[in-house]
Structure 1
Amino acid sequence: MRLIQLLDGDGATRVGEVDAGGAQVRLLEGPASMHALATAAIDAGRSLDAEVATLPGDTRLDYAALLREGRVLVPLHHPDPAHCRVTGTGLTHLGSAAARDAMHQNLQQQAQAGTLTDSMRMFQWGVEGGIPAAGEAGAQPEWFYKGDGGIVVAPGAPLPSPDFALDGGEEPELVGLYLIGPDGTPHRLGFAIGNEFSDHVTERQNYLYLAHSKLRACAVGPELRTGPLPRDLRGTSRIRRGDAVLWEKPFLTGEANMCHSLANLEYHHFKYAAHRRPGDVHLHFFGTATLSFADGVRAEPGDVFEVDLPELGAPLANPLRTVAAGFAPGGVRSL
């Protein structure tokens, strides 16, 4: 099932179901948000699909028009942004078979030479132990924090990059959308397209700057896809500059292209009690293997990032915009 959040004609947040052809959206009567819909499903002991099936709604809206008019919102949010955690895991994707073979050879050479970097060592742990048997914990992945719900922008909205940033580059990724139930159980509502967006120049200066490089905005949506995912997901990441495509490259995701299972990544995120606070929303990025930055591309304000992953519905497109940080050295006041 394909679900979205949108603004109706009165400017109120609503939930809609996208039809199989992707042309129309059925406006659901009842829940005022995806958070409310998921909460009702948890309370009733039903799946999200089953909960939607109980809801009336005869109004049909043109999906393309909703996107064009900027009325499609992030597919899941919390009414209080402080109760939404945006996080991610890195070094999770294998890439193409050729790149995989080259990576394995490089790992062996570095290991023999005693020069294996921390990043490569962590990747190797994932290759060796990131897909454990059902019910078991596998290798622990890299993990990072991006921010709370206030950093998430809707489809079509500008991605703000602070003026102190050294770079602003896309990261096309799969995102898991979760709501913590009243008893502390994480419930996965489904998956969405994401642009994790990071400062790769800052990260390249020193790997210990990774935490700084991730404290940026991100985009998620337009759709939430419920149920299991295909193991092999293939999409396209591109950057448009004016009427031209500046850069374009296919990308692979899904468990067939990863060195960690989704279940293992979820376990290592939610094993922390602080990540299981009832009522909280989590948006978790699962990593990527494709970056324009790796090809020497530098995005400029006004460029549009587009992540197209057909199995998850309509593409996610967002223009880049530089914004003032709003804070200067010495800006802290003593009380």
Structure 2
Amino acid sequence: MLMSQIRNEDGSITVAVREEGEPARAVRGALSVYDLAREAANSGRTFADVVTTRGVAGVVDLQAAYAEGRFLPPITHPDPAHLHLTGTGLTHLGSAATRDAMHAAATADEAAMTDSMKMFRMGLEGGKPKPGETGVQPEWFYKGNGLQLASPGGDLISPAFAADGGEEPEIAGIYIIADNGQPFRLGLAVANEFSDHVTERINYLFLAHSKLRPASFGPEIRIGNAPQDIRGTSRILRNGAVLWEKPFLSGEANMSHSFANLEYHHFKYGLFRAPGDVHVHMFGTATLSFGDGVRTEAGDVFEMEAAGFGLPLRNRLVVGAEEVVSMGVL
């Protein structure tokens, strides 16, 4: 099942569901995906069961909604501060090659291993623990909250002080925290974990700064479990023509960590189990246009899609205006 949210002219939301290749239909009486997810998490029912119980109404034209700029992120929170954007890196087989090239040690000792490669090796050795065991924790980063979330079809705004604005095609887990504090995975979606790779390359300790950028995901959430082998395509369009295009792989068959291990090391913190909160947790990638020497420009359009995950995710790169930040003293 694929699920999305459409903004109506009166400000209300239409929740649309469909099976791959079939028309989308509106879920009866649904105010938002967030409300449906909370109902499922707090009732002990599956999300699909909640939708089936409500039933569906008329056909929703998703292509028209996309063209008209009416897609919302496929889940939002009434208070954007309670939607958390986070992620993990060095989680995919092959991800170390791009990162290691960015963070290569400036040393004559070619045998020296970078911290990135050490972290990757740790994941290979302990990222997929057996049931009942605790695996190695991954690299983890914070991107922001719902205020940093761009709608599918919307702009990804790179701040004026940024050195770069580059795409990262990823699969994200979408989570809701039940009233009793238990996390539930709603489903997964294609995500653009937009980052500043030039800043990150200066020194890996700048990773935290480079990740404080907008992100986008959707337009649709794949409800339920993920395939073991996820195959997609990431591309950049400039002036309507393809500037760069490359396949990307995800899913546990192509990863050094299991989803369960990444989820455990995120939700082990009580901070991330606050009732009612939403989490969009991006699982990493091994494919970057930056790694191929591409420098993005304002107006470029990022487009990424994966089989079984619905419509492609598109966002335009926009450079923000200069801001003067003045500090007051109380």
| Matched residue, 2:6 | 6
Moved more, 61-70 or 85-94: 61-70
Residue in structure 1 matching 2:328, options 314, 322, 333 = 333
C-alpha distance in structure 2 between counterparts of 1:144 and 1:73, whole Å: 24
Letter of the 1:198 partner, please give it: S
1:92 corresponds to 2:102: no
Instruction: Give 1:11 deviation, angstroms.
Output: 3.1
Greater CA drift, 316-325 or 248-257:
316-325
> What RMSD over aligned residues (CA atoms) do the two structures have, in Å?
1.9
**Shift in Å, 1:78:** 0.9
Question: Retained in 2: the 8 A contact 1:177–1:191?
Answer: yes
Distance 2:213 2:115 in 1: 24
How far does the alpha carbon of each residue in 1:32-58 deviate from its partner, in whole angstroms, 9 at most, with x for none? 111100111122211001111011332
Alignment correspondent of 2:133: 136
Identify the match of residue 204 of structure 1 among 201, 204, 211: 201
- The structural deviation recorded for 1:147 is 0.4
1:58-103: per-residue Cα shift (whole Å, max 9, x none)? 211212111111111101111101111110000000039xx98xx9
1:53 aligns with 2:52: yes
1:135 CA displacement: 2.6
The structure-2 alpha-carbon separation of the partners of 1:257 and 1:207, relative to structure 1 and needing over 3 Å to count, comes to: same
Is the contact made by 1:95 and 1:252 (CA closer than 8 Å) also made in structure 2? Answer: no
Structure 1: distance between partners of 2:168 and 2:175: 21
Name the SS of the counterpart of 1:89 in structure 2. Answer: strand
Alignment of 1:184-263 (within 5 A): 184-263=181-260
Aligned residue pairs: how many? 322
Alpha-carbon offset, residue 325 of structure 1:
4.7
Matches within 5 A, 1:97-116: 115-116=112-113
Gaps of 5+ in 2: 101-106
Seen in structure 2, the aligned counterparts of structure 1 residues 325 and 189 have a Cα distance that, compared at 3 Å, is farther
* In 1: Cα distance, 2:269 partner to 2:114 partner: 27
**Structure 2 residue aligned with 1:106:** none
Which deviates more, 157-166 or 132-141? 132-141
2:104 corresponding residue in structure 1:
none
Partner amino acid for 2:295?
R
Equivalent residue letter for 2:6: L
CA distance in 1, matches of 2:18, 2:65: 11
TM-score (norm 1): 0.92
Post-superposition, which runs of at least 4 consecutive aligned residues in structure 1 deviate over 2 A? 8-11, 325-328
Instruction: Quote the sequence identity (%).
Output: 55
| Cα distance, 1:228 vs structure 2 | 1.3
Q: Over residues 205-261 of structure 1, what are the superposed CA-to-partner deviations in whole Å (9 max), with x where a residue is unaligned?
A: 010000000000011110011111111111110000012100000110100000000
Q: Where in structure 2 are the equivalents of 1:246-325 lying within 5 Å? A: 246-325=243-322
Report how far residue 20 of structure 1 moved. Answer: 3.2
Match of 1:107 in 2: none
Structure 1: gaps spanning 5 or more residues = 104-109
Please tell me whether the aligned partners of residues 34 and 76 of structure 1 are also in contact (alpha carbons under 8 angstroms).
Answer: yes
**Distance (whole Å) between structure 2 residues aligned to residue 252 and residue 4 of structure 1:** 23
Shift of 1:29: 1.5
- The two structures have a TM-score, normalised by structure 2, of 0.94
1:282 CA displacement? 0.5
Structure-to-structure mapping, 1:145-164, within 5 angstroms: 145-164=142-161
Given the superposition, is the C-alpha separation of residues 274 and 65 from structure 1 closer, same or farther in structure 2, using an over 3 Å criterion? same
Which residue of structure 2 aligns with residue 68 of structure 1? 67
Decide which moves more: 254-263 or 27-36: 27-36
Distance change in 2, residues 1:226/1:135 (3 Å)? farther
Q: What secondary structure is seen at the aligned counterpart in 1 of 2:319?
A: strand
Conserved? CA contact 1:4–1:18, under 8 Å: no
Give the whole-Å Cα distance in 1 for the aligned partners of 2:115 and 2:33. Answer: 39
Does the 8 Å CA contact 2:88/2:139 hold for their aligned counterparts? yes
Q: Give SS of 1:264's match.
A: helix
Secondary structure of the equivalent of 1:131? coil
Deviates more, 1:58-67 or 1:267-276: 58-67
Question: What is the letter of the counterpart of residue 141 of structure 1?
Answer: P
Which of 173, 179, 182 is residue 182 of structure 1 equivalent to? 179
Q: 2:179, 2:60 → 1: CA distance?
A: 34
Asked if the contact 2:41–2:177 (Cα under 8 Å) also holds between the matched residues in 1, the reply is no
What is the letter of the counterpart of residue 334 of structure 1? Answer: V
